[in-house]
Chain A
Amino acid sequence: MARRRPQPGLVLRLYVAGHAPNSVRAIANARAICSEHFATRHSLEIVDLLEDPHRALIDGIIVTPTLVKLSPPPVQRVIGNLSDTDQVLLALAAP
């Protein structure tokens, strides 16, 4: 069960609204970018705010889809359906 977390680990959380079109697209894009550029050295949690609305408060989410980079610091957010890969990579790599 103990999953070995890659060092340094990239920890991401993606907030979506059910199967709404941009949410679906964002999930697909996030997965693609992760597997292409970070291989196994990442974790991606998907939070559906239609199911768990209260979790929006934790990260101060105001729109979906929103991708949050939790680690390594600093915390970064990318708003939208993540179709601009360069922009996403820039945000994830930013110090």
Chain B
Amino acid sequence: MKANDALRTQDLARRLSEAQATIQALLSGQIDAVVDPQSSTPILLSHAQAALRESEERLRHERDRAQRYLDTATVMLVALDLEGRITLANRFACAVLGWNEAELLGRDWFDTCLAPRMREEVRARFGDLVRGDVSIAENVVLTRSGDERRIEWRSTLNRDDRGQVIGSLSSGTDVTERSRAAEAVQVAEERMRFALEAAGVGIWEMDFVTGVITWSPILEAQYGLAGGSFKGTFASFSEGIHPDDRAAVVETIEQAMRAGTDFSVLHRALWPDGTVRWLSGSGRILLGPLGTPVRGVGISIDVTERHTLEEQYRQAQKMEAIGRLASGVAHDFNNLLTVILGFAEFVTADALPSSQHARDLAEIVKAARSASGLTRQLLAFSRQQVLHAEPVDVNALITEMAVMLGRLIGEHIEVNVILAPQLSLVVADRGQLEQVVMNLVVNARDAMSDGGRLTIATTDVTLQQRSTDPEVVVPGPYVRLSIADTGTGMDKETQRRLFEPFFTTKEAGKGTGLGLSTTYGIVKQSRGYIWVDSEPGRGTMFSVYLPHLSADAIALPSAPAAATPVAGRASETVLLVEDEAGVRKLSRRILDLAGYRVLEAANGDEADRLFAEHAGAIDLVVTDVVMPGCGGPELVGRLQARAPALRVLYMSGYTEQSAARQAGLDRGIPFIEKPFSSADFMRSVRDALDR
């Protein structure tokens, strides 16, 4: 009992103390609610009520503001629960999707707002999303009207107070237009890239802020680089330019950078393997607001083939022009030399053989003959000399010349001869070919005054047009004869002019400047090629290519007829037509001496008139081919129309072939080449009459 009383007392005391504490707390305003013991419902005290109201108000206000944010946002905001049901869709999302909010809430997002073809895939990705966290994705939503819009989504997870994932919240931007534009740009770019690639155009871009240059694979190939191996700096670009062109290209680009203008350059690229290619490039430099370059773009094309062709064409044109000039000069010279030699012959015949006159005349004849040799060389260069083409074994030719060449070369030079066994035959004029070899050997010798090595080699080759060839070639089998020295070599400029007549690097009086041009003419006339490969200080190699003898090779011309003296006095009448007075007088003199009756005319029209007026028969017309006004062939045509039996002899300072070619004469018609001796002339006249 006592213990019970004690407990009760303790309990009472505790209750009392609690009551006191409660009253104190109530008085100090620390109590919010009092529990009604009957209903056990907490009754909020007035100050707590006010505070709660206030906080509820604040809460509502917050919610309203959030709602306004949602409504005015220009992105789609969509929240889904874990099953993919829509728990929130803002006004913008509703507008895009074509539903109102009440219709959307609670619906399955995937079934409602996605095209059937992608539902399962996106649903699977939603599973990934709710297991992970923020993600960015793009997909196509289906609007109520059946339109499809491309939306870029940024999603995050919705969590409850305890941090449990309860769904997703996504904001979506309509990128339909943007991605259409991007697609259009991509298609255009693709098309452009294809066109540029197909045209072999390389593209570059330079960012002046970072200094990085970007090259397309084609551009890398144009500089002989593997794809992706260009280092992207201006220095590495400059390295790829041929050293001879580098300064000019860099200067052009720097100027464009200062002015912010377009530029174009033509230069050579030097590949890492030593290949040289011609590139044509254009670029544009864009300046920023401060007047400094910001960006550069440009293209580049490999124009090696075009450049080579242009070069070849220029070279061919030059040689053609020089050839015409040379042949014109030679023609005039031949007329003069014919006269000089002819009259000198007459005077010689009258002079006492041992007299001073005779010796002086012999000097005149010697000088005139050597002048005639020079014109012959000029004609050789212009490919208008008579070639006696025949099958030639180049190896045999070299072997036969060996002793003579050895004497020519001297002992300070070592000679190697490398002849290909079973070398094919070529068609050429043996004597001219010997001259070619001799000219080249002499040149090689002169380039090695301090000694060296001379290599003469032959081999069969097949020529195909290559871009590095100096001229257009007829592809096919050729014999290559190369003559190489280890001498002084030549620079590019000298090589370009090498074959021009009267171009010489030797000191005055040491060469005529005709050696190599003669060589060139002979080789060209033999349908061959002569190419030079040289570097200053490294020596020179000439390669002569001659086409193989083929089954349809030209018919071999017969050996020149042996000179047969003309006997007896002639009695026929000859009409002599020649515009060049000296040659006419000389020819007349020769014909007179031989006993012919001669009618003389200075041109075609005069000859025509004489022929008509002459009462007796005219047996032969001797006429120049090329004359002012009516030329030889035209005159002959007119005369033979009246007298078909009339015989003809043509004379020309050009060669038979070129005169015939120019005048349209048939081969085999009697022809005499100037300059001629009186014996030659009389024999030709006799032959023409006796045909």
Contact = CB atoms under 8 A, between A and B. Distances in A.
User: Bound pair: A and B?
Assistant: yes
B465 interface: no
A70 interface: no
Nearest to B20: A79
A57 B42 CA distance: 11
B48 A21 contact: yes
A83 B28 CA distance: 12
Given A21-B51, A22-B48, A77 B33 contact: no
Contacts of A81: 30
B402 interface: no
A23 B45 CA distance: 12
Chain A binding site: helix, strand, loop or mixed by DSSP?
loop
A63 B26 contact: yes
Contact of A56 (B42, B48, B51, B52): B42
A83 to B, nearest CB: 8
Contacts of B51: 20-21
Contacts of B48: 17, 20-22
A57 B47 CA distance: 24
Give the interface size class of chain A. 20 to 34
A63 B31 contact: yes
A55 to B, nearest CB: 9
A10 interface: no
B41 A53 contact: yes
Nearest to B52: A20
B55 interface: yes
B30 A22 contact: yes
Contacts of B42: 17, 49-50, 53, 56, 64
Interface string A1-31: 0000000000000001111111100000000
A56 B34 CA distance: 10
B605 interface: no
A64 B33 contact: yes
Interface in B28-43: 28-35, 37, 39-42
Contacts of A77: 18, 21
A79 B28 CA distance: 11
A23 B33 CA distance: 9
Interface of A: 16-23, 49-50, 53-54, 56-57, 61-65, 77-81, 83
Interface of B: 18, 21-22, 24-26, 28-35, 37, 39-42, 44, 47-48, 51-52, 55
20 contacts: A16-B32, A17-B42, A21-B32, A22-B29, A50-B42, A53-B39, A53-B40, A56-B35, A56-B40, A62-B34, A62-B37, A63-B22, A63-B26, A64-B31, A65-B31, A79-B18, A79-B21, A80-B21, A80-B25, A80-B31
